[in-house]
Structures are given as C-alpha cells and as structure tokens.
Amino acid sequence: MRDERPVCAETVKLLQEYLDRELTTTEVSTVQGHLDRCPPCLKLFRFEERVRRLVRIHCASDCAPTSLREEILARLKAARKN
C-alpha cells in the first residue's frame, strides 16, 4: 500500500484554502481524492468545517433593530432637504 503520509501533509496545507473555496478545480479534485482514501484527514477537514459553520450560524443571527433602519431613512430624508 502507498504511504499516504507525505500526501497528508500536503493536503493539510491546503485545508484553509479548500474550506474557503479558494482552490482551482484541479487542486480541489486532488484534495478530494486524498480525503476519499484517508479517514483521519477527512475527519480533520470535517471538524474544521464544523467550527466555521458554528461561527457562521451564531454570528449571522443578529438583525439590525427596526429603530435603526427607520432612523437611517429619516436622517437621509433630512439630509436630502438641505
């Protein structure tokens, strides 16, 4: 069986760009090819993706107060008159 360890190191180097969708199509298939063969790397990638998702879900939930929206529009209306 092929030694995947050097490939693991190369793949992990690409983790951030892979999860940020910054790799080329060719690079993506190289990473995915390795992840298909390597459960430990896959586990790490999945974990890191989960952390990102947690950040996204929890930090995207706040909405601007209605009063802020109204105040901005009111101030613009006033600014236009001047």
Site string for other proteins, 16-35 (x = CB under 8 A): xx--xxx-------------
CB of 7 to other proteins, least distance (A): 17
Q: How many whole angstroms separate alpha carbon 73 and alpha carbon 79? A: 10
With DSSP H G I counted as helix, E B as strand and the rest as coil, what are the percentages for the chain, rounded to 5?
80, 0, 20
Q: How many whole angstroms separate alpha carbon 22 and alpha carbon 7? A: 19
Residue numbers at the binding site for other proteins (CB under 8 A)? 16-17, 20-22, 43-44, 47-48, 50-52, 54-56, 58-65, 68-69, 71-73, 75-76, 79-80
